[in-house]
Amino acid sequence: MRRSGQDFAAAGFLHLPGEILMKKKVVVGMSGGVDSSVAALILKEQGYDVIGVTMQIWQDEDRDVVSAHAGCCGLSAVDDARRVASQLDIPYYVMNFKEEFKKYVIDYFVDEYKCGRTPNPCIACNRYVKWESLLTRCMAIGGDYIATGHYARIIQLPNGRYTLQEARGIEKDQTYALYNLTQEQLARTLMPVGEYSKPEIRKIAEDHRLMVAHKPDSQDICFVPDGDYAGYLENEAGLKAVPGDFVDIHGNAIGRHKGIIHYTIGQRKGLGLAMGHPVFVVDIIPETNQVVIGENGDVFSERLICNRLNFMSIEDLTEPMHVKAKIRYNHKGSMCTIRKIDEDLVEAVFDEPVRAVTKGQAVVFYEDDHVLGGGSIC
C-alpha cells in the first residue's frame, strides 16, 4: 500500500523507504502558507529534488488591487512563498494560470449562481487548475510528481486503484474538496502533511524557523476575499440580481427577494421577512426567479441525486452500497445507501434526514476512512 508520507520522529524526519528516495523531481504548489511550506520542507528532507511554484491566478493587473487579495495566490502569497523557498534553498517560480482559472473556476462560479445553484469553486480549482494544469506543466519540465499542503493521504488499494484516506489530523481533513481528482493525478501526487495534525505542522515550521510558522490560514474564496459573493457577481462578473417573489412551499407569494444570487439553501438570516418565527430558504427556482421559504423541518431531506460523478476507490458503482456521505465541507457525514440510477446519476437515500442538501455542492462518499467517490448535487 503506497502512502504519500510516513510518520516522522518527534525530533526530526524519518526518511521514506529506499525506492522512494531516488532523486525524483517534485513540483510543490506553494501558497505562501505554513502547510505548503512544510510540505516542501518535508520532501526536501526526504531526498526529493524540490521546485517551488506559486500559481498566478489573479485577473487584475493593478498591483494594489491584487495585493489586497490575501488569498492563496495573491501577491502576499508570492512574497511569502519566495522567502520560504529561499530559506529552503530550492528553486522557485511563479507560473501564470490566469486563463485556466477564469475558465474553470470563475466562469463556473458565475454560471452556477445563474442556475440557482451554490458552487464550490475550490473543488473546481483543485481538479482543473492546481492539478490538471499544474501537472501538465510539471511533466513538461521533467517533473515526476506534484505536491501540495493539503491534509489528506494518498493510498493504493489492493485493487490497484488510488484513493484518498482521511488525514491523520481529522479536524483539518480536506479529502472532501479533493474527491474529483483522477487516477492519473493521484498517482503523480504527494501529500506529506496529511500524516500530521495542524499543531504538528506549525511545530515543524517553528523548529526550522520558517517565517510563515504562525501565518493565519486563509478562510474565504481567494477571488472573493471579503466573502460578499453576491457583490462580486454583480460588480465584477456583471451578473445582475433580478428581484422576484418569495413563495411558501405551496407556491403562495409572501414577499419580495433581492435576486436569487443572494440566497442559498438553509439560509435564515438576511431574508427580510417578518413571519413572527424563524423561516428558511428551502429551494431556489431560477426558471421562475422564485425563492421558496419554509419551516426548519422543510430544510431536511431523505434523499439526493448527484451527477458529474467521479469514482476513486472503485471504477464504477455496480451495486448498492451503504456508505458515509458528506454534503458540505464541514459536514461530519451521514450514513446512506447509494445506487446508480443512470449512467451519470447516483441516488443516495439517507438513514436519517439530513439538513440543507444544496444544489451545486459536492456530495462525497466514504467507505471506512477513504473516498469512494462523489458528485455534484442536482
pLDDT of residue 73: 58
Average pLDDT score over residue span 123-135: 91
CA 219 to chain centre: 12
Task: Render pLDDT for 233-242 as a digit per residue (tens, 0 to 9).
Answer: 988 888 889 9
Number of neighbouring beta carbons within 10 Å of residue 13:
15
Same domain, 40 and 120: yes
> Is the Cβ–Cβ distance between 4 and 194 less than 8 Å?
yes
Same domain, 26 and 49: yes
Using a pLDDT cut of 70, give the percent of the chain over it. Answer: 89
pLDDT of residue 56: 87
> Which residues lie across from 98 on neighbouring strands?
none
pLDDT category of residue 58 using cuts at 50, 70 and 90: confident
Average pLDDT score over residue span 33-61: 91
Average pLDDT score over residue span 65-77: 56
Average pLDDT score over residue span 153-179: 96
Average pLDDT along the chain: 89
pLDDT of residue 33: 94
CA-to-CA separations, 139 to 18, 104, 112, in angstroms, rounded: 23, 21, 32
Same domain, 123 and 268: no
Residue 278 lies in a domain: yes
- Give CA–CA dist 229/187, Å, rounded: 35
Residue 67 has pLDDT above 70, yes or no: no
Same domain, 189 and 313: no
C-alpha cell at 55: 500559481
Same domain, 169 and 288: no
Burial 265-286 (b: 16+ CB within 10 A, else e): bbbeeebeeeeeeebbbbbbee
Write down the catalytic residue from 72, 125, 138, 336: 125
C-alpha cell at 288: 421562475
Residue 220 lies in a domain: no
Residue 280 has pLDDT above 90, yes or no: yes
Residue 10 lies in a domain: no
pTM > 0.85: yes or no: yes
> Is the Cβ–Cβ distance between 109 and 118 less than 8 Å?
no
Residue 223 lies in a domain: no
Q: Report how many domains make up the chain.
A: 3
Is 115 tagged catalytic?
no
Residue 3 has pLDDT above 50, yes or no: no
pLDDT category of residue 8 using cuts at 50, 70 and 90: very low
pLDDT of residue 272: 92
Same domain, 173 and 305: no
What is the DSSP secondary-structure string of 179-192?
TT--HHHHHTEE-G
Instruction: Single out the residue in 294, 318, 337 at which a domain terminates.
Output: 294
pLDDT category of residue 195 using cuts at 50, 70 and 90: very high
Same domain, 169 and 318: no
Same domain, 368 and 274: no
Write down the catalytic residue from 73, 122, 138, 222: 222
User: Which H/E stretch holds residue 362?
Assistant: strand 362-367
Same domain, 284 and 330: no
Q: Which domain holds residue 254?
A: 241-294
Residue 316 lies in a domain: yes
Task: Render pLDDT for 16-30 as a digit per residue (tens, 0 to 9).
Answer: 444 444 589 999 999
Average pLDDT score over residue span 219-229: 79
Average pLDDT score over residue span 269-274: 93
Same domain, 310 and 251: no
**What is the CATH classification number for the domain harbouring 263?**
2.30.30.280
Same domain, 76 and 140: yes
Average pLDDT score over residue span 298-308: 97
pLDDT of residue 13: 41
Is 72 tagged catalytic?
no
Give just the sign of the alpha carbon dihedral 95, 98, 102, 103: negative
R_g over Cα of the chain: 22
